[in-house]
Amino acid sequence: MSGPAAPVQAAPPRPVRFGILGCADIARKVSRALLMLPPGAATVAAVGSRSEDKARRFIAETGLPAARPHGSYESLLGDADVEAVYLPLPTSLHVPWATAAAARGKHLLLEKPTALCAADLDAILAACDASGVQFMDTTMWIHNPRTAKMRDIVADKDAFGDIRVIHSMCGFQASEYFLQNDIRVKPDLDALGVLGDVGWYSIRSILWAVEYELPETVIAHRHPVKNQAGVILACGATLYWADGKTATFNCSFLTNLAFDVTVYGTHGTLHVTDLVIPYEEKYAEFSVASKSNFVKPTIGWDPLPTKHVVTTDLPQEALMVQEFSRLVQNIRDAGGRPEGKWPAITRKTQVVLDAVKASIDKGSEPVEVAS
Amino acid sequence: MSGPAAPVQAAPPRPVRFGILGCADIARKVSRALLMLPPGAATVAAVGSRSEDKARRFIAETGLPAARPHGSYESLLGDADVEAVYLPLPTSLHVPWATAAAARGKHLLLEKPTALCAADLDAILAACDASGVQFMDTTMWIHNPRTAKMRDIVADKDAFGDIRVIHSMCGFQASEYFLQNDIRVKPDLDALGVLGDVGWYSIRSILWAVEYELPETVIAHRHPVKNQAGVILACGATLYWADGKTATFNCSFLTNLAFDVTVYGTHGTLHVTDLVIPYEEKYAEFSVASKSNFVKPTIGWDPLPTKHVVTTDLPQEALMVQEFSRLVQNIRDAGGRPEGKWPAITRKTQVVLDAVKASIDKGSEPVEVAS
């Protein structure tokens, strides 16, 4: 049978060889994402844990037969075959292991919260800079095509106008087991508690909405809920910008699941209620109202808000590792420089988070946001 | 032609005879609502304005041929045929005219904001009490059947749990004409500005969500926007309850139309985005999530939130005047007493509004809520 000749295909690029440093639950989701990528993007070369057995079990359970198990983090970092490290360790371990990874020339995909404070993050970013490796945090929803679509709308000065108010609430109802045992409630592991966990997303979503313009001042809401060890379980804050914009957010381990962001502009309004983890994996929606008016005599709206739907073949976490891999390949294979926008938005998130934490620690005094 | 005999119908009750005191725009909406009621509920007996011409024009334009025009407010109050007064005058005129109406034995349907402060409202409520007349404010959405449906859900301890966080934003983009000329930007007419206008709804919605439990403390957000005369055009506040619940709200004349309330409970979440004026007149929806969990490994939600739809034959403003008329008929025809829940929730709204205003005036100092 004759037919059209198959087109000549360029050889796929050489995949980025990942090492997974720590077998946290979230590493299963990222491993799954890595396995979803088209050929040539990435492969998991190694998994490092505090015991080789645990690494082996993780490899078996996540379906990564090509991955080499390492019985220590140090051993994984010594693996010359590993080009990039995904690091989901507890936050208090980020500085030593992230700087060690960077010092070994490994590109760094770092779980959020990236550090306990901006000064710690700066040590990590300096190590990445010194080695010329790519840095990216794991804020997955930034990579959802919905986010880019929402950006276009919010940035439309005619349809949306100027942003004046933002509200975000991110939370979930933690189980009793979580509240007793999870690293996110332990002062020696993830001392930022809910603020570093889902609070990270609220802060990032607010910064995202304003194209990463830092607020001048933050004031934490009074009476944050803390556990006996002093780790924050629920809190909130108000953010103030120089031009009068304000944002409020809440984050909580003690309420039903919520990933809300609403952006109020002079001409438009954007609602999204599943920002961080979409209701469905490959389908995401949001709602936009623009130049809304009343039907006279104030008996309805005209025009009505419109629902926007964005579909994606790859879920957001796969798009994240794909983009990270592309940047690594660009450095490795094409002499490119690390993309600076990723560490820049990480740092802004961390700086605002620091200010909220400082305001909480000072009993809701206003705190200036460092630049 | 023979057919089934018509059922014997009870004579409809004698309609409540309304006087409309002032020809504000909003009075057109309320007149339209009165005309929608089934026979026997209410009729517009008279319209009073500062000029008889204006009253005549209003009567013609709103289709109230049975209404008698009055060339002064005093004349309308002297009309013995008027049993109930709907009073949409600027807020600074409420105390003299509302107390005068009550003193004449007229039942009182009073536009919101009901007064410039709780002390003024108390004078009005005392006058109603002294005369044994019914008092109700014109928060229309309280009468939408959607609101009752939402109450059932929010009150469900199993499905919704305990409320922890509430957010409301009510606003609209006022025209240049409005910002120069509307009574709501004039310090001598509606000195509470946006706080008394749509801010009233935000405060009421928050109180509604918590079954009218007053917060202990409110703290206004910094930097409210004011016009040159000092009237508030945009502001916000955080409310604190004794048990750790918090609420934030914003209200604005300077953003796109928004009537958002979101209630976050330990087990459930409720979203409504058109609370005050539904998108469509006879159809209203809201969304509820309950016991939301992740699809493992955090790749979607299960169960998904559910959309609830509530339809109504009569729009909420007609249901409001119908309920008010029913209460008046109960007093007039059945020896009933005025229903106390309406002045009670008005007063709570006003008390919280006072506290927010006081906090704004004190540069965002915390203000205890009077009881």
Write out the CATH class of domain B16-140: alpha beta
Helices A118-131 and A94-103: crossing angle in degrees, nearest 10, is 10
**Which residues of B are less than 8 Å from A294 in CB distance?**
257, 277
Single out the catalytic residue among B29, B112, B245, B357: B112
Task: State the nearest Cα–Cα gap between A266 and chain B, in angstroms.
Answer: 4
pLDDT digits (tens, 9 = 90+) for A209-259: 999 999 999 999 999 999 999 999 999 999 999 999 999 999 999 999 999
Average pLDDT over residues B310-325: 97
B142-319+347-368 CATH fold: Dihydrodipicolinate Reductase; domain 2 (3.30.360)
Average pLDDT for chain A? 96
Closest-CA residue of chain A to B219: A221
**Which residues of B are less than 8 Å from A289 in CB distance?**
256-258
- Asked if A29 lies within 8 A of B293 by C-beta distance, the reply is no
Q: Which CATH number does the domain A142-315+346-368 belong to among 3.40.50.300, 3.40.50.720, 3.40.190.10, 3.30.360.10?
A: 3.30.360.10
Q: Which of A163, A187, A169, A184 is nearest to A236 (CA)?
A: A169
Task: State the nearest Cα–Cα gap between A364 and chain B, in angstroms.
Answer: 11
pLDDT digits (tens, 9 = 90+) for A301-349: 999 999 999 999 999 999 999 999 999 999 999 999 999 999 999 999 9
User: Would you say domain A16-141 falls under CATH 3.30.360.10?
Assistant: no
Tell me which residue in B219, B223, B267 faces A244 most closely, judged by beta carbons: B223
Give a three-class secondary structure readout of chain A: CCCCCCCCCCCCCCCEEEEEECCCHHHHHHHHHHHHCCCCCEEEEEEECCCHHHHHHHHHHHCCCCCEEECCHHHHHCCCCCCEEEECCCHHHHHHHHHHHHHCCCEEEECCCCCCCHHHHHHHHHHHHHHCCCEEECCHHHHCHHHHHHHHHHCCCCCCCCEEEEEEEEEEECCHHHHHHCHHHCCCCCCCHHHHCHHHHHHHHHHHHCCCCCCCEEEECCCCEECCCCCEEEEEEEEECCCCCEEEEEEECEEEEEEEEEEEECCEEEEECECCCCCECCEEEEEEEECCEECCCCCCEECCCEEEEEECCCCHHHHHHHHHHHHHHHHHHHCCCCCCHHHHHHHHHHHHHHHHHHHHHCCCCCEECCC
Task: State the nearest Cα–Cα gap between A321 and chain B, in angstroms.
Answer: 15
Residue A65 has what pLDDT? 86
Residue B271 has what pLDDT? 98
pLDDT digits (tens, 9 = 90+) for B10-45: 667 899 999 999 998 999 999 999 999 999 999 999
- Residue A297's φ and ψ, nearest 5 degrees, are -85, 85
Q: What is the band of B65 on the pLDDT scale with cuts at 50, 70, 90? A: confident
Closest-CA residue of chain B to A62: B297
DSSP B140: G
Average pLDDT over residues A256-281: 98
Task: State the nearest Cα–Cα gap between A337 and chain B, in angstroms.
Answer: 33
- Asked if A266 lies within 8 A of B255 by C-beta distance, the reply is yes
CA triplet B63, B67, B70: central angle to 5 degrees?
Answer: 120
**Which residues of B are less than 8 Å from A277 in CB distance?**
294, 298-301
CB A234 within 8 A of CB A225: yes
Q: What is the band of B297 on the pLDDT scale with cuts at 50, 70, 90? A: confident
Residue B184 has what pLDDT? 97
**Which residues of B are less than 8 Å from A281 in CB distance?**
295, 299-300
Residue A1 has what pLDDT? 43
**Which residues of A are less than 8 Å from B265 in CB distance?**
255-256
Percent of chain A with pLDDT over 90: 94
Task: State the nearest Cα–Cα gap between A285 and chain B, in angstroms.
Answer: 13
Domain ranges of chain A: 16-141, 142-315+346-368
Selected for mutation to probe chain B from A299, A319, A356 (highest B CB count within 10 Å) is A299
**Which residues of A are less than 8 Å from B165 in CB distance?**
169, 236, 250, 252, 255
CB B43 within 8 A of CB B321: no
pLDDT digits (tens, 9 = 90+) for B169-228: 999 999 999 999 999 999 999 999 999 999 999 999 999 999 999 999 999 999 999 999
- Asked if A252 lies within 8 A of B165 by C-beta distance, the reply is yes
Tell me which residue in A279, A287, A289 faces B300 most closely, judged by beta carbons: A279
Q: What is the band of B1 on the pLDDT scale with cuts at 50, 70, 90? A: very low
- Asked if B266 lies within 8 A of A254 by C-beta distance, the reply is yes
User: SS3 of B51, please?
Assistant: coil
Cα dihedral sign, B217-B221-B225-B228: positive
Out of A7-11, A91-95, B54-58, B236-240, pick the least confident: A7-11
**Count of pairs with CB atoms under 8 A, one residue in A, one in B:** 193
In the residue annotation, A112 being an active-site residue is answered as yes
For residue A173, the one-letter residue type is: Q
Residue B4 has what pLDDT? 55
Q: Which residues of B12-25 are buried (b: 16+ CB within 10 A; e: fewer)?
A: ebebbbbbbbbbbe
The ipTM is 0.95
